[in-house]
Amino acid sequence: MFKPEKLKNMEVQSIKQRFGIIGNSPLLDRAIDIAAQVAPTDLTVFITGESGVGKEVFPKIIHQLSTRKHGSYIAVNCGAIPEGTIDSELFGHEKGSFTGAHEARKGYFEVANGGTIFLDEVAELPLSTQVRLLRVIEAGEFLKVGSSKVIKTDVRVVAATNVDTTVAIQRGKFREDLYYRLNTVPIYVPPLRVRKDDIYLLFRKFAADFAEKYRMPVLRLNEDAVNVLINYRWDGNVRQLKNITEQISIIEKERNIDAPTLLKYLPVTLKRELPVLYQNREEQPEMSERDLLYKVLFDMKNDINELKTIVGGIIKDEGASKDNQQYNKHLIDKLHENIDTIGSQVEHFETQQTNEPRFIEPIQESEVIEESLSIQDKEIDLIKKALLKYHGKRKKAANELGISERTLYRKIKEYDIT
């Protein structure tokens, strides 16, 4: 029997208060509702979502609302345990089973008998360990390392990952049978960028917490700073927002934060980093160089458009100071130049329908085709220009570039800029 919508909403709000969850996003409420519904059962739950979205709170909800709440709850970060010891950590070992095994040890599945075990980053497990895990989930039994004695266990398994499981299965990194066994009940935790109305709520909560922790006045954002905050991409999600709020709370003496001040703490980086693309090319040799270039250009175009939207929202603020407006206009001009250059390249690629492997063929001779598309080269060039403009004064150059002086100093050393 389905619960009335009003009663369901009341339960979700109660869970939020109990576990300190901030936000009113329908996607977040849906995830909480599923966790509450599946909690009384013993079904395996698979939680997916980007890094930093707060996946770790959902196993706690499931455990505390289940009949196992008086049993053990163990959270294991599978990606943080070395491959050579992961089997021993999860399933235990017998004395003398390997070098250094001076005495027998119980594993997490034996200790958590009657309770719940949360396997975070489960896709990072070695394939041999995935086979052992599949046996535990299906049969409720396992073998200790160095033992032939079967041990029974009654453990509720909740797993989570931030990787694309479909891709991991295709590459042979994650067993398909284990995926379907874990994914009995899926829960998707949405990223912060699709919960825009929750971003400022979270910032205020973190600001108040840090003000109390460090015994200082609470941070305040003016209207243009709020606009920047809610339109930033937040690739690190809630974890990144919390860290940046703490940085500003400690470093800034002024408690009223404007947009230029906030922008100094927000990394202006592309969503998709080039090294990852090159790594994918090695792992997927069927991707041609032409396809790779097309993907890089198209992703850069999307990301610069997003940055353009953020800064465009600031420059429309008639109440901003004259200096801030000039600074923002400088940023928007730079973004226009980049989007025009990259846009022309993407459009040219889109008109090419032939499968013949080749590099970019210009319709007519143009300096744009020969211009370097290296993000690092662009960054070095901008840093040099800023330093020349202010005669080597790093503080003014950093303000011009919209980064902190510390970040500028690090990049000067990294790129060996003289």
CATH code for the domain of 224 = 1.10.8.60
Token representation of residue 12: 């979700």
User: Does residue 368 lie within any of the structural domains?
Assistant: no
Let me know whether 162 and 229 are in one domain.
Answer: no
Let me know whether 289 and 178 are in one domain.
Answer: no
Let me know whether 157 and 87 are in one domain.
Answer: yes
Let me know whether 199 and 259 are in one domain.
Answer: yes
| pLDDT for residue 198 | 96
User: Does residue 216 lie within any of the structural domains?
Assistant: yes
Let me know whether 180 and 216 are in one domain.
Answer: no
Q: Would you call 88 helix, strand, or coil by DSSP? A: helix
Domain endpoint, select from 263, 292, 322 = 263
| pLDDT for residue 305 | 61
400-411: per-residue pLDDT in tens?
Answer: 887 888 788 888
Q: Cα separation of 289 and 63, whole Å? A: 49
Let me know whether 205 and 313 are in one domain.
Answer: no
Let me know whether 160 and 50 are in one domain.
Answer: yes
Token representation of residue 225: 């700073």
Let me know whether 51 and 175 are in one domain.
Answer: yes
Q: What are phi and psi of 289, to 5 degrees?
A: -65, -35
The gap from C-alpha 39 to its chain's centroid, in whole angstroms, comes to 26
Provide the 10 A C-beta neighbour count for residue 385. 13
Provide the 10 A C-beta neighbour count for residue 288. 13
User: Does residue 248 lie within any of the structural domains?
Assistant: yes
| pLDDT for residue 384 | 87
| pLDDT for residue 270 | 46
Let me know whether 342 and 403 are in one domain.
Answer: yes
| pLDDT for residue 321 | 53
User: Does residue 312 lie within any of the structural domains?
Assistant: yes
| pLDDT for residue 353 | 44
| pLDDT for residue 279 | 42
| pLDDT for residue 126 | 95
User: Does residue 360 lie within any of the structural domains?
Assistant: no
| pLDDT for residue 370 | 47
Would the pTM of this model clear 0.85, i.e. be above it?
A: no
Domains in the chain, number? 3
| pLDDT for residue 89 | 95
Q: How far is CA 246 from CA 19, 214, 250, 267, 303, in A?
A: 21, 10, 6, 15, 26
| pLDDT for residue 376 | 74
Let me know whether 181 and 197 are in one domain.
Answer: no
User: Does residue 358 lie within any of the structural domains?
Assistant: no
Instruction: Give the residues of the chain that fall short of pLDDT 50.
Output: 1, 270-287, 353-371
Instruction: Judge contact between 307 and 268, C-beta under 8 A.
Output: yes
Beta carbons within 8 Å of 233's beta carbon, 6+ residues apart: 193, 271, 306
Let me know whether 109 and 229 are in one domain.
Answer: no
Dihedral-angle region of residue 186 (phi above 0 means left; psi in -120 to 50 means alpha; beta otherwise)? beta
Domain of 382 in residue numbering reads as: 282-352+375-414
The gap from C-alpha 231 to its chain's centroid, in whole angstroms, comes to 16
Domain endpoint, select from 263, 298, 325 = 263
| pLDDT for residue 4 | 66
| pLDDT for residue 316 | 53
